Structure 1
Amino acid sequence: MGLFHKKATNVVTEEPEQKKELSPFEKSEQQVVGFYSDFDNEQLFTIHLVFENGTEYDLSGQTKKSVGWIVSHKNSGTKGIFQYATNDGVGVGIDLRKVIILTVKPEETSKDEEDAA
């Protein structure tokens, strides 16, 4: 008669969370950000662009994430023009199809300047 005295338990089975497959752009972006893993997250970078007509332009104050975003767009052959809004509210339209050289370099921080002195 012990069958009716057994307490029922609810067993909840958790389905493993399915990882969303990354697009080729997202994979490229993660890879580029990974290249800068030696730098801390507060490190800023300058992206130097050289256009096919010889014009040069610097995008300063970029984070690792924004470097990854811009470089991945260039690498993936993005054909459109994107807007980049700077901190002072000025927008810059850049046609990445016209960029022939893209260089990224870390900016010196105040700590770097103190160490150099």
Structure 2
Amino acid sequence: MGLFHKKAEKVAVEESEKKEELSPKEELSPFEKSEQQVVGFYSDFDNEQLFTIHLVFENGAEYDLSHQSKENVAWVVAHKNLDSKGIFQYAINDGVGVGIDLRKVIILTVKPEETSKDEEDAA
């Protein structure tokens, strides 16, 4: 009898898993979809890797947002991809902040930064 009971439990679990797969999960917003896609682009990098986001504005001015995590990169790129109308502020550790109108950004480049380990390997 124990054998049939185990099989019945397994079938019940499999059926509940199928129902979960078929049931509509909470849909992601376009922003969240874009953000996840960008994080996926950087999946080859470990979570400690930092990046520099280089911004070039319509008027030719350039600005670097350095020491950004994958999630921060995804946040900025997702806002740019969706043509966000707002201005976001970026605060640095010393309390200095800057407002950036992403609508005025014509080029956005992301580059991985060298970590201290990378610098030691290069030496």
Q: Shorter-chain-normalised TM-score: which range?
A: 0.7 to 0.9
| Counterpart among 67, 73, 78 of residue 72 in structure 1 | 78
Structure having the higher helix fraction is 2
TM-score normalised according to structure 2 size: 0.80
Instruction: Flag structure 2 segments of 5+ consecutive residues without an equivalent.
Output: 1-15
1:45 paired to 2:39: no
Q: Which runs of 5+ in 1 are unaligned?
A: 1-13
Matches within 5 A, 1:1-117: 16=20, 19-117=25-123
Alpha-carbon offset, residue 80 of structure 1: 1.0
Match of 1:5 in 2: none
Identity of aligned residues (%): 83
CA distance in 2, matches of 1:18, 1:101: 37
Higher gyration radius (CA):
1
Deviations 1:56-111 (A, max 9, x none): 00000000000000000000010111111112211110000000000000000000
Take 1:34 and 1:87, find their aligned partners in 2: how far apart are those partners?
27
Q: Secondary structure at the match of 1:88?
A: coil
